[in-house]
């Protein structure tokens, strides 16, 4: 059954969940409703929390969500990390704690983990964020492991990206330097009770080297937290608010919206071309026959593709 537009706009959880499932399955009626809802998006603040497994991302998401709830904000959580407790992939204790949050009327949690999409994860994650946005969530938190192409792609479309590290993880911050400095708007050193000074110092030094020294440039703050006790979470929220104000003032927020639109359109165009191509009469069979020839080295993939499209 297709939910009504009004039910989704009203934040009816059942309607939202149903629409998300329809959209994930590429149901035409679901996609049609998504289309209509789109003009109601653009109001939510999208926050990314990213980092390798084991750094305590989910606990941090939990605490950040609680903090926003105390301010009366409605919070959506999208877990892209398949090892997140939100996706059911982790410890029972964590899952129980997350359930506390999921029974809160002002919180909506959706897991994107482990559904075996081929190429469609980034697009679908963006659409789930859109549904949460249209449904009146003030804050949408996207939790992702942050490595991997589709995942980095997801992270690039959030408004504020928090990169979470822990002291002593892999012994050195350097392990993370590749790629991660560019995507972080805020760096969080979690489990800071285990001695965060070294990692903070190294991170600061690397950021000072790497970050563009434009006078209007955002200087990523480093926040120390201990997510299990909640220490540092208020400071993190303040840093998030600071970044939100910065991107509004600098025009970066507007630029991000255009970038997100371009990415969404790009992904849809690719899917549309492929679907149209494969629907041609006999194409599926021709494609499979060509793949067999390639596997036998009778031809190469580029020549095969040229013949199929020529």
Bridge partners (DSSP) listed for residue 49: 143, 162
Torsion on CA atoms 39, 45, 49, 50, rounded to nearest 10: 50
How far apart are alpha carbons 300 and 38 in whole angstroms? 43
For a second copy, which is the closer residue by CB, 14 or 258? 258
**Closest approach of a second copy to the CB of residue 215, in Å:** 26
CB 149, min distance to a second copy, A: 4
Name the pairing type of β-strands 222-224 and 186-189.
parallel
- Nearer to a second copy (CB atom), residue 17 or residue 257: 257
CA 108/CA 124 separation, integer angstroms = 17
- Output the smallest distance, CB 103 to a second copy, in A: 23
Q: In angstroms, what is the minimal distance from the CB of 225 to a second copy?
A: 18
Indicate the residue among 125 and 237 with the shorter CB distance to a second copy: 125
Q: Give the three-state DSSP class for 104.
A: coil
Q: Give whichever of 168 and 249 is closer to a second copy, judged by the CB atom.
A: 168
Tell me the backbone φ, ψ of residue 57, rounded to 5 degrees: -55, -45
Sheet (strand 160-165) strand order? 107-111, 75-79, 139-144, 45-50, 160-165, 186-189, 222-224
Which CB, 150 or 239, lies closer to a second copy?
A: 150
Shortest CB 135 distance to a second copy, Å: 15
């Amino acid at each position: 059954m297709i939910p009504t537009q009004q039910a989704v706009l009203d934040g009816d959880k059942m309607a939202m969940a149903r629409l998300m499932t329809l959209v994930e399955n590429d149901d035409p009626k679901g996609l049609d409703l998504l289309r209509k809802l789109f003009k109601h998006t653009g109001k939510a603040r999208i926050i990314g929390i990213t980092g390798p497994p084991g750094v305590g991302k989910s606990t941090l998401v939990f605490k950040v969500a609680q903090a926003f709830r105390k301010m009366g904000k409605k919070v959506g959580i999208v877990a892209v990390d398949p090892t997140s407790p939100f996706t059911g992939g982790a410890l029972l204790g964590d899952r129980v704690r997350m359930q506390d949050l999921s029974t809160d009327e002002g919180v909506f949690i959706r897991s994107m983990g482990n559904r075996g999409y081929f190429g469609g994860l980034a697009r679908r994650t963006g659409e789930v964020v859109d549904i949460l946005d249209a449904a009146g969530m003030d804050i949408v938190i996207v939790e992702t492991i942050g490595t991997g192409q589709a995942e980095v792609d997801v992270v690039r479309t959030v408004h504020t990206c928090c990169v979470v590290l822990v002291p002593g993880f892999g012994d050195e911050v350097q392990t993370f330097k590749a790629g991660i400095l560019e995507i972080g708007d805020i760096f969080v050193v979690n489990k800071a009770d285990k001695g965060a000074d070294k990692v903070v110092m190294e991170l600061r030094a690397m950021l000072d080297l790497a970050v563009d020294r434009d006078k209007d440039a955002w200087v990523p703050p480093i926040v120390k937290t201990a997510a299990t006790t909640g220490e540092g979470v208020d400071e993190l929220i303040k840093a998030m608010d600071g970044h939100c104000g910065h991107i509004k003032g600098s025009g970066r927020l507007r630029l991000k919206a255009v970038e997100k639109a371009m990415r969404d359109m790009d992904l849809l165009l690719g899917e549309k071309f492929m679907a149209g191509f494969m629907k041609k009469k006999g194409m599926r069979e021709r494609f499979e026959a060509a793949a067999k020839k390639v596997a036998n080295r009778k031809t190469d993939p580029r020549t095969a593709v040229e013949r199929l499209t020529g």
